[in-house]
Chain A
Amino acid sequence: MASLNEFLFISGLLFAIGLAGVIIRRNIIVIFMSLELMLAAASLTLVAFSRFHLHEGLPDYNGQVFVFFIITVAAAEVAVGLAIIVALYRARQTINVEDLTSMRG
């Protein structure tokens, strides 16, 4: 069985890929998907530690309950975020973050 360190490394790698997507990409929908990837990478860390820290022979379910809550919050966040993107597109006809500079100081 693969060790905890390998799971943590995969999780960190996924998080870094998501971070790179958020920094590099200019399409706001792809930025949003990269954010989802970062959330899922954090969930992998939680599940790996939940399995590692056995509580009386069973996995520590506090971590998995937390992952369940993360998935719920992510679903709500996607619904609201995509509604905002649609409203933004109706107002400005663009989803390129370079064109959205009206709040630049």
Chain B
Amino acid sequence: MHSIAFYLFALLAITGGIFLVAFRNPVSSALAMVLSFVGLAGLFIGLNAYFVGIVQILVYAGAIMVLFIFIIMLLDLNDEKPVKFKSTTVLAGVIIPLLLVVQILGVIQSHNTGDEGAFKKITASSMAISAKEFPEDSAIHKSLTHPKSPKLPDTNLIGHAIFTRYNFPLQIMGVLLLVATMGVVILSKRSSKKAS
């Protein structure tokens, strides 16, 4: 990833986060959240994690943002009266995250690897070496050792990891989603019965 793109997307993510906290109107906050997540997805794609970046946009900007805005509109929160912020809360909200940032900076500074954590490049030869792990006729092997343009088959490799090493956790995730769906249905049903 070129440095300019990195700084652009990092700036997008950070400004989105700041706007999310600073805007009074919850709808503006939700849109700022999407701005921040688009920046994050750009960073993911810069890290050769194409699948995770696309899923980030699809799930957060597509599904979760719509859900948030739907709830804000449903509850009709646009005419929110200005709330007074307590000075102690604001002070705590500035000092505690600041301490966290200082601590993270300290850890990054003290961890001296010499090369400052530079990323190694993924080249055609390194991909050809790793292709030996996969069967010759598989899509992953063909993409890694393509004679003209070898590409990183990111989605295939994640799918391979999920359905072999992480098969059981994946099924647990399915159960979790089912439980969440049932929980939402029961929660909204009971409250509507109470209201009527």
> Shortest beta-carbon distance, A104 to chain B, in Å?
16
Residue of chain A at shortest CB distance from B119: A1
Count, chain A residues at interface, CB 8 A: 75
Residues from chain B with a CB closer than 8 A to the CB of A54 are 120, 122, 126
Q: In the assembly, what is the distance between CA of A20 and CA of B17, in Å?
A: 10
Residue of chain B at shortest CB distance from A23: B93
B59 touches A17 (CB 8 A): no
Q: In the assembly, what is the distance between CA of A100 and CA of B37, in Å?
A: 30
A17 touches B14 (CB 8 A): yes
> Shortest beta-carbon distance, B150 to chain A, in Å?
11
B127 touches A1 (CB 8 A): no
Count, chain B residues at interface, CB 8 A: 91
| Contact (A69, B184) CB under 8 Å given A5-B117, A54-B122, A82-B67 | no
Residues from chain A with a CB closer than 8 A to the CB of B83 are 26-27, 96, 98
> Shortest beta-carbon distance, B4 to chain A, in Å?
10
A23 touches B49 (CB 8 A): no
| Contact (A8, B108) CB under 8 Å given A1-B3, A68-B55 | yes
B158 touches A64 (CB 8 A): yes
A47 touches B20 (CB 8 A): no
> Shortest beta-carbon distance, B16 to chain A, in Å?
9
Interface residues of B in 166-196 (CB under 8 A from A): 166, 169, 173, 176-177, 179-181, 183-184, 187-188, 190-191, 194-195
| Contact (A64, B169) CB under 8 Å given A18-B17, A33-B33, A52-B117 | no
Binary contact readout B1-32 vs A (1 if CB under 8 angstroms, 0 otherwise): 11100110010011001101100001001100
Interchain CB contact (< 8 A) of B188 among A58, A73, A83: A83
Residues from chain B with a CB closer than 8 A to the CB of A33 are 20, 29-30, 33, 68
Interchain CB contact (< 8 A) of A79 among B6, B49, B181: B181
Residue of chain B at shortest CB distance from A25: B21
What are 7 A-B pairs with beta-carbon distances under 8 A?
A: A4-B116, A14-B17, A37-B36, A59-B49, A74-B59, A85-B75, A87-B187
Extra contacts, 20 of them, besides A16-B101, A29-B71, A78-B67 (Cβ < 8 A), are A6-B10, A8-B108, A10-B43, A19-B96, A20-B93, A23-B93, A24-B90, A33-B68, A34-B20, A43-B56, A47-B43, A48-B47, A58-B126, A59-B49, A65-B161, A75-B63, A76-B179, A79-B67, A83-B188, A89-B75
- Which residues of A are at the interface with B, using a C-beta cutoff of 8 A? 1-10, 12-21, 23-27, 29-30, 32-34, 36-37, 40, 43-44, 47-48, 50-52, 54-59, 61-62, 64-65, 67-69, 71-80, 82-87, 89-91, 95-96, 98
